């Protein structure tokens, strides 16, 4: 079992496995692994896909313009189809000794408290049950952990901790870190905030998911993506050679899985909403705990699994990834643009609540044609759909920054640093064809000038494109004049970056 460290582990294993014998790791005589199941209870605020700036003219409440006004009704339908029946099933199972965990976002708890207090009370009964564990999350189910500055990640972590303490009288110690890879910065932030372990996605870790590990000293549990997607993706597929998936067959797969543990973290909406009850998904959930017991698999909390001696240390994951792409796929250029704009906006906008609603991982996830599942519904859409969603997102973020400029220390600096929507972006091209990328802010322009080929820069300089975009779109006449006669790419980038640094100083 790897390095078990010092001290007696027999008591720990007795607690987890129910006997005094340490389980062998593999082989025909292996004890079944323990099973840890967590649920991601969240409902994102959907964007108003038809937003245009004129729709917000004269309005003080921008949230109603930026987001779908049917959120309350939509959530109500999700509650009827999924949240309520699933929670009622789990309460019965918890009473019978089943153990599971709940990761409840601050956003969904806010909505339930305001609109559906009866559902919140029901969920509270489940979350505070002696056989349930409450997990830590970012308050807004956000992408803040991908930012260079971890402060927003820490702030949301602490906000969520305080909310869980207020509503459920618990302080979570295990963090669900499954929408993007864990990093040294987020691991340090978690440890510094009193978190004792994190759940991460299996393929992103590039390790056998049937063991525990450490990452920069933090114990980590690795979700089993194949077993998760048997439920979250393949369950209703009649073309699947394992259809229909029955609880006893699934329990058998878990029981013969080599290693000490199997960890899953599933989107709550899969049960009854994404997959309607007609598929048999609710009956599957109800039948799973007794099926596990029949094959000798014990259900335990994630915090209990984290106490199993680690199998080793997980190294760094390679390359930038984004929500839904945490299994090693690179971010799309749209995701990258949106993430950079979001992080910069944190220092420009005055309404931080709206900005934080825009940090929801679901927004970035929808900017990829195909995102991985691993316990979430599979996401596959057309290029046009991803671009349209990105365009709506950037129009809203740009408008929010513009509306914030009047209250800023320097209105001019805020307007120069803001992002712009796609219809106003700077599209790079060469003499022959479009280059395939665009800048939506001065900072993104500076970043792209690092790798843009010289012939592309020459093409735009000869046409005066940089000058016109900075002058007429960004509205920074001073910078436009400075770069008007610059032909060298390195000098051009330096001039733009120096101006950016000067503008930020005016706001601090």
Model pLDDT for residues 442-452, shown as the tens digit of each residue: 999 999 999 99
- Note the pLDDT of residue 11: 46
- Note the pLDDT of residue 3: 36
154-177 confidence digits (pLDDT tens): 999 999 999 999 999 999 999 998
The overall average pLDDT reported for the chain is 90
- Note the pLDDT of residue 14: 41
Distance, C-alpha 329 to centroid of its chain? 15
Say if residue 423 is exposed, middle or buried (CB neighbours under 10 Å; 0-12, 13-18, 19+). Answer: exposed
The average pLDDT across 323-344 equals 78
- Note the pLDDT of residue 318: 39
The average pLDDT across 58-64 equals 85
Residue entry with tokens 């209870």: 41
The strand pairing partners of 436, in sequence order, are none
In this structure, what token pair is assigned to residue 69?
Answer: 């006004």
Distance from C-alpha of 157 to C-alpha of 356, rounded to nearest angstrom: 13
Backbone angles phi, psi at 270, to 5 degrees: -60, -35
- Asked whether the predicted pLDDT for residue 322 surpasses 70, the reply is no
Distance, C-alpha 131 to centroid of its chain? 27
- Asked whether the predicted pLDDT for residue 328 surpasses 50, the reply is no
Q: How far apart, in Å, do the first and last CA atoms of the chain sit?
A: 52
202-229 confidence digits (pLDDT tens): 766 567 899 999 999 999 999 999 999 9
- Note the pLDDT of residue 90: 98
Residue entry with tokens 């890879």: 181
Residues 6+ apart with CB under 8 A from 100: 37, 38, 39, 90, 93, 94, 131, 132, 133, 299, 301
- Note the pLDDT of residue 205: 58
Backbone angles phi, psi at 394, to 5 degrees: -70, -35
Report the DSSP pairing between strands 197-200 and 212-215: unpaired
Q: Are 77 and 43 in contact (CB under 8 A)?
A: no
Residue entry with tokens 């009288």: 169
The DSSP secondary structure of 380-445, one letter per residue, reads: E--HHHHHHHHHHHHHHHHHHHHHHHTTSS-HHHHHHHS---GGGSEEEE-SSSEEEEEESSHHHH
Which domains are present in the chain? 10-15+33-51+63-305 (3.20.110.10), 408-507 (no CATH)
Q: Are 140 and 156 in contact (CB under 8 A)?
A: yes
The DSSP secondary structure of 335-387, one letter per residue, reads: HHHHHHHHHHHTTT-S-HHHHHHHTBHHHHHTTSSEE--SSS--EE--HHHHH
Residue 339 has, within 13 A of its CA and on its CB side, a CA count of: 26
Distance from C-alpha of 144 to C-alpha of 139, rounded to nearest angstrom: 10
Distance from C-alpha of 502 to C-alpha of 442, rounded to nearest angstrom: 12
């Amino acid at each position: 079992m790897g390095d078990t460290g010092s001290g007696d582990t027999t008591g720990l294993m007795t607690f987890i496995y129910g006997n005094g014998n340490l389980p062998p790791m593999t082989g025909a005589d292996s004890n079944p692994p323990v099973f840890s199941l967590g649920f991601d209870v969240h409902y994102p605020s959907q964007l108003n896909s038809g937003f245009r700036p004129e729709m917000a003219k004269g309005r003080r409440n921008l949230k109603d313009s930026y987001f779908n006004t049917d959120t309350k009704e939509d959530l109500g339908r999700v509650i009827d189809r999924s949240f309520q029946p699933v929670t009622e099933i789990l309460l019965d199972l918890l009473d019978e000794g089943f153990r599971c965990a709940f990761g409840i976002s601050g956003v969904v708890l806010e909505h339930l408290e305001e609109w559906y207090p009866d559902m919140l009370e029901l969920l509270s009964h489940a979350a505070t049950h002696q056989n349930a564990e409450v997990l830590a999350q970012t308050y807004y189910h956000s992408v803040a952990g991908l930012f260079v500055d971890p402060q927003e990640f820490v702030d949301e972590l602490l906000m969520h901790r305080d909310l869980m303490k207020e509503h459920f009288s618990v302080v979570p110690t295990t963090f669900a870190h499954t929408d993007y890879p864990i990093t040294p910065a987020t691991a340090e932030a978690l440890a510094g905030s009193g978190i004792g372990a994190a759940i991460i996605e299996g393929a992103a870790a590039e390790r056998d998911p049937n063991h525990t590990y450490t990452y920069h000293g933090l114990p980590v549990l690795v979700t089993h993506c194949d077993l998760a997607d048997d439920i979250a993706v393949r369950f209703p597929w009649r073309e699947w050679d394992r259809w229909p998936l029955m609880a006893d067959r699934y329990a058998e797969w878990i029981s013969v899985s080599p290693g000490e543990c199997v960890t899953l973290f599933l989107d709550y909406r899969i049960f009854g909403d994404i997959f309607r009850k007609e598929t048999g998904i609710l009956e599957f959930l109800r039948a799973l705990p007794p099926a596990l017991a029949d094959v000798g698999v014990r259900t335990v909390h994630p915090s209990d699994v984290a106490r199993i001696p680690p199998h080793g240390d997980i190294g760094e994951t390679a390359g930038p990834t984004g929500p839904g792409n945490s299994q090693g796929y690179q971010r799309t250029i749209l995701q990258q643009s949106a993430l950079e704009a979001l992080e910069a906006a944190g220092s420009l906008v005055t309404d931080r609540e709206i900005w934080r609603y825009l940090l929801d991982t679901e927004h970035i996830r929808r900017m990829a044609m195909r995102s991985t599942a691993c316990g979430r519904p599979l996401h596959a859409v057309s290029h046009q759909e991803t671009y349209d969603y990105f365009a709506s997102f950037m129009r809203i973020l740009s408008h929010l920054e513009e509306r914030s400029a009047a209250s800023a220390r320097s209105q001019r600096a805020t307007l120069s640093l803001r992002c712009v929507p796609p219809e106003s972006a700077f599209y790079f091209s060469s003499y022959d064809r479009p280059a395939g990328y665009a800048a939506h802010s001065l900072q993104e322009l500076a970043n792209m000038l690092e790798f843009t080929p010289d012939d592309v820069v020459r093409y735009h300089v000869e046409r005066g494109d940089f000058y016109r975009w900075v002058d007429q779109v960004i509205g920074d006449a001073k910078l436009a004049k400075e770069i008007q006669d610059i032909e060298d790419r390195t000098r051009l980038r330096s001039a733009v970056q120096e101006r950016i640094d000067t503008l930020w100083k005016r706001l601090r």
